[in-house]
Amino acid sequence: MAEDTGRLPDNIMHFGRVLRAAGLPVGPGRVIEAVRAVEAAGIGSREDLYWTLHAVFVNRRDQRELFDQAFHIFWRNPRILEKAMSILLPTFGTEADDAPQASEANRRLADALFPTEKQVAEEKPQEEETLLDAAFTFSAREELKHRDFESMSAEEIEQAKKAIAQMRLPIVDVPTRRFRPNPRGRRVDMRATLRASMRTGGDIIPLKRRSRIRRHPPLVVLCDISGSMSRYSRMFLHFMHAVTNDRDRVHTFVFGTRLTNVTRYLRQKDVDVALADVSEGVQDWSGGTRIGACLHEFNTFWSRRVLGQGALALLITDGLDREGTENLAFEMERLHKSCRRLIWLNPLMRYEKYEAKAAGARQIVPHVDEFRSIHNLESIADLASTLSRSWPRTEEATATTWGAVA
């Protein structure tokens, strides 16, 4: 590329567009900056070019991997690029679960570089990429909302994942013991009042007011990833990733035969990298379930650390326990007593006549504040609206919510 400097700005522009399509916030301003930066730094070596562009385009650590791959694919001989396209193409459009985890980020880049088969031959496929997005119209979304995750095709699952990534979980705020200035507050802020009165030399003492700061309580998610939940768990991981990145004070755990804290993995902003990390860190995918034992582990080692300050707990499981369930009721009771509110999300609730008949489910039911289904996009959205309503404290809620559902 060095010999043909005349085309370099063009190439940088195309590279910028590829990055943008792959999800990096790259605007025209950035591209101009990049061209200037490359002019200033010179293009002595490939490594220099790499770090120059890196300095301009990457501003968060988790964008690095995407940039790295895009760079190596893009800044090569165009011949190799074409070959790379043909290599990448077969994986494109196949069922999501079949593709190996490690190539998730790759696949997204492939999406950005070569959105559909027909446009491969063309130089600038980015326009069509946006069109593709727009094709997922409102009516399609509407239909998708009611479709059970279990019966979705690979493509629909992809779309649902996108919808989930947009979701926010508005948990109701609770008052804290801290204050902030508020002209309509109910308390007088003496300090601000006196300071204000000094401005007039003490002639006038204008009353300054303050009110309590409200803040959402911590959220703890416990998700079952055993075999019986396998069709759902991937979707829930996307959900948990969206929730974890949306706010602070979220702790995420998955359990099958053992309990794993995946909060750190899910903090990773890039969903593909995060999920790849999770599947590497978790060893009991799609195995059996030992709900009682896992809750015991949670109660002993984690509850005191993550359930402080009035946390809200979401338990996602179908309640089908492989092992004996004698401990389960006891552990559920302890979990219930250590959090502000415990919500059980059960994908089996999609059947209208579902009753908690399985031995495990029967042990869980008496100890939850609320029992909801979670099997399609709509039920996730419903959950959001429940959480944004204010609720009575745990003790009073137990009996009332329970009569109706069980």
The residues that touch another protein, with contacts defined as CB under 8 A, are 176-179, 190-191, 194-195, 197-198, 200-203, 205, 299-300, 304-306, 308-309, 330, 334
Which C-beta is closer to another protein: that of 89 or that of 188?
A: 188
CB of 2 to another protein, least distance (A): 43
CB of 292 to another protein, least distance (A): 14
Reported residue count of the chain is 406
Question: Which contacts (CB < 8 Å, 24+ apart) does range 72-76 have?
Answer: 73/109, 73/113, 74/14, 74/15, 74/18, 74/113, 75/1, 75/11, 75/15, 75/46, 75/49, 75/50
Q: Alpha-carbon dihedral of residues 100, 104, 109, 112, nearest 10 degrees? A: 100
Which C-beta is closer to another protein: that of 104 or that of 331?
A: 331
Q: How many Å apart are CA 358 and CA 355, to the nearest integer?
A: 8
Which C-beta is closer to another protein: that of 230 or that of 263?
A: 263
Which C-beta is closer to another protein: that of 228 or that of 252?
A: 252
Which C-beta is closer to another protein: that of 175 or that of 281?
A: 175
CB of 320 to another protein, least distance (A): 26
Beta strands in 62-208 (DSSP E): 174-181, 187-188
Q: Is 296 within 8 Å of 327 (Cβ atoms)?
A: yes
CB atoms within 10 A of CB 261: 16
Q: Is 395 within 8 Å of 388 (Cβ atoms)?
A: no
Beta strands in 87-208 (DSSP E): 174-181, 187-188
Return the structure tokens found at 382: 């419903």
Q: 45 phi and psi, to 5 degrees?
A: -140, 165
Q: Sort strands 312-316 and 174-181 into parallel, antiparallel or unpaired.
A: unpaired
Q: 223 phi and psi, to 5 degrees?
A: -120, 130
Distance (Å) of CA 138 to CA 163, 272, 306? 11, 25, 39
CB of 365 to another protein, least distance (A): 21
Which C-beta is closer to another protein: that of 2 or that of 190?
A: 190
CB of 260 to another protein, least distance (A): 17
DSSP for 310-342 reads T-EEEEE-----SS--TTHHHHHHHHHHHSSEE
Which C-beta is closer to another protein: that of 69 or that of 193?
A: 193
CB of 75 to another protein, least distance (A): 37
CB of 202 to another protein, least distance (A): 4
Which C-beta is closer to another protein: that of 333 or that of 382?
A: 333
